[in-house]
Structure 1
Amino acid sequence: MEDREYYNIRKGHVKFGEVSSEMFKKAFLLKYRQLDNAGYFQKYFGFECSDGSIIGTLGDDVATAIFLKVGQDKLWPIFTYFESYSDVDFFTIIEVLHDCCSKPTESFYHNWNDCGTHVTKSDDALGRLEFRNTFNPLLKRYKNLELSEKGEILESIEEGFEHLFAAPIPTSDEENIKSKISAARIKFRRATASLDERRDALRDLADVLEYLKPQIKNLLMNKDTNELFEIANTFGIRHHNVRQKTEYDKPLWHSWIFYCYLSTIHLCLRLIEQENRK
């Protein structure tokens, strides 16, 4: 059955956050079973064969292997603990499953005692891609989240700003610009990001703007250049003093400032690039 948006979703009658925790659990288990039954986790978790246990790459104690990775127990086996999962538990196990998902490319059916399919070869990259395609629609409807290519659950990009994240950063300066922008984007979009982490992300972008300031001051009028930094300097982001407007230190305003900074950086870099071509 083709995946598509049906009438109630297209017309906005079903919105993000309207999937209950109980329905999220049921949908999670359905999608996990489908992939598990198709052999997508055999490479890492192994499986029970009629002739004895087949051990995966995580070894013969998957629960302990997962504990060593995430520092938390009572996550595995999933069917034993999922009823007591918090959102943090679900998001953690989803990231683990993403990293352990490998699409079967070669397999055979073991007839003895109707054992089932044995996967002999699989592809991690394809498996993880299918895992993201499977779970991202559910995560988006539940909490407006998505799995990144690295398998990290992040807040979905605000509609209309997708191009800012897809657009290449027009500079070769890795240390002062590219790395800071990449770090800021990840910090800000993490599903469990605290206010402090979001402020850090905004400071990272403000630092990039400050670094670019000497290069753009000749491309913009002085008044315009100064106004680019007014938000950073007076909205409780870069400095801590009596001038700060801390009443705006809230997630909604943080999102506005974040996208404002990010789009301004792209504008500045393209103005600089254009000037350098002359």
Structure 2
Amino acid sequence: MGDDDAVSLDLSNYELTWPVSLFVSEGERIIASAGSSWADRAEWLMTEALSGSTAVADFSEMVNHHEVDPWGGTASGWGRSGPAVMTKHEWFSEVISRASEIRLAAAPRPYWPQRQARGLSTNGSTAHDAQRDFARIVGDFVDNGYLVEHFGEECVDDPNALPDASALIERRLGIPGLWPLAPETWDKDTFYGLIEVLHDLVSRPRMRRYHDYCSCGWHHSEFHNGPARILYRTKVNELLRAAGVQYELAAEGEDLGRLVAVTDDARSQLVHRALHDSPPDVTPDVRHAIALYRSRDASSESKRSAIFNLGRVLEERRALIKDQLGKDEGALFEIANRFDLRHRRADQRGEYDEAFLDWIFWWYLGTVELTNELIRAKSRAHG
């Protein structure tokens, strides 16, 4: 198809319910795949990631590559003519390449009862609302086959019993009788525990087929937990923010998929850089320090341990810091050494507000980032 005959897709009728980056990465994988089933995978992706059925309907109207008549018509002869005809592959490729232009789906504007603060909850902020909303999110994942890899899937042709989902969760969480989900029975710890367990169990089926014998239904296959966990974290973290919960599922680090304390964007970016930019010899200490500090049940002792781990990294880099700061390098360690943080000597002060621990942790993590950059600069200078 030449540039003069190119068809510009109208994306205004589509709404994306997935993160753009996840939709693009899964779409690009389909585009690069070979075989006749790529269109089924594309249709399944759009069914999941785009609100409603409009995009799938538009996709179905496109022709397959072998139906295009190079002399100006189509093999089907159903009214499509001229070189501007798009194939399914071309259409889907353009949707993926322009995914950033697709409007993100948003919750509908409040209806009358919500606006009048009567009847339905206005923001889902109560604990029970959050638990019920979480159960609905998990229900959507179940409907789309995201727990089939671990929980199995019924089929009229397979008489074998399915795995005991409740027992599987109990082995991980130590609490019996949690499946099927009954949010009205949970206490806070059970709710948070289920959030973490199900993060580890979801897995996206990249393929599905319809088994029409006795109306058996959809069967799912080709599982991958990477995209499933990204989508799960996105949905659950949105729910927690809306409910005013000050925790979120960690997207990286030693505590991946565990609830951690929410921080502002700047500190989140600092954590990201420290996890990804630290040299391999110190990465385990940095990862462990971050996990200790931001865990949901972090105590003063765990925060001290986090500071100790970062302090050890900085001690190993003391010569580098001295080379850059001269005699002032001692000031970096003086406060931590005089307070009950690392060495725990009798002459150290131990009575101070816990906010001091937060301050020293972020100071040390920022200094780790600084020394990472100094090391890279030194390497470039000698490279």
Q: Same fold (TM over 0.5)?
A: yes
Give the corresponding residue for 2:333: 229
Could you tell me which amino acid in structure 2 is paired with residue 237 of structure 1?
L
Shift of 1:245: 4.4
* Counterpart-to-counterpart distance in 2, 1:108 and 1:170: 43
Q: Distance in 2 between matches of 1:209 and 1:257?
A: 13
Change beyond 3 A, Cα 1:79–1:265: closer
Higher relative contact order (CA 8 A, sep 6+): 1
Gaps of 5+ in 1: 9-17
- 1:22 aligned partner: 128
The reply to whether residue 267 of structure 1 matches residue 373 of structure 2 is: no
Shift of 1:49: 4.6
Which amino acid is 1:191 matched to?
A: R
Counterparts of 2:157 and 2:230, CA distance in 1 = 32
1:216–1:272: 8 Å Cα contact kept in structure 2? no
The one-letter code of the counterpart of 1:107 is R
Q: Quote the Cα distance in structure 2 between the aligned partners of 1:49 and 1:273.
A: 56
Residues 46, 203 of structure 1: alpha-carbon distance in 2 compared, 3 angstrom cutoff: same
Matches within 5 A, 1:1-278: 2-3=104-105, 19-49=125-155, 60-70=163-173, 72-74=174-176, 76-80=178-182, 82-111=183-212, 114-140=215-241, 141-149=244-252, 150-167=256-273, 172-174=279-281, 177-222=282-327, 224-240=328-344, 241-248=346-353, 250=354, 252-275=355-378, 277=381
Alpha-carbon distance between aligned partners in 2 of 1:194 and 1:78, rounded to the nearest angstrom: 34
TM-score by length of 1: 0.79
Aligned length: 259
DSSP 3-state at the match of 2:265: coil
- Larger Rg over CA atoms: 2
Return the TM-score normalized by structure 2: 0.60
In 2, the alpha carbon distance for the partners of 1:211 and 1:164 equals: 21
Note if contact 1:49-1:115 (Cα within 8 Å) is conserved in structure 2: yes
Secondary structure at the counterpart of residue 160 of structure 1: helix
- Do 1:216 and 1:225's aligned partners in 2 also have CA atoms closer than 8 Å? yes
Render the CA deviation track for 1:162-185: whole Å, top value 9, x for unaligned. 3322326656451xx221111101
Shift of 1:65: 2.5
Tell me by how many angstroms 1:115 deviates.
4.3
Q: Secondary structure at the match of 2:245?
A: helix
- Give the equivalent residue in structure 1 for 2:10: none
Give me the identity figure in percent.
25
SS at match of 1:79: coil
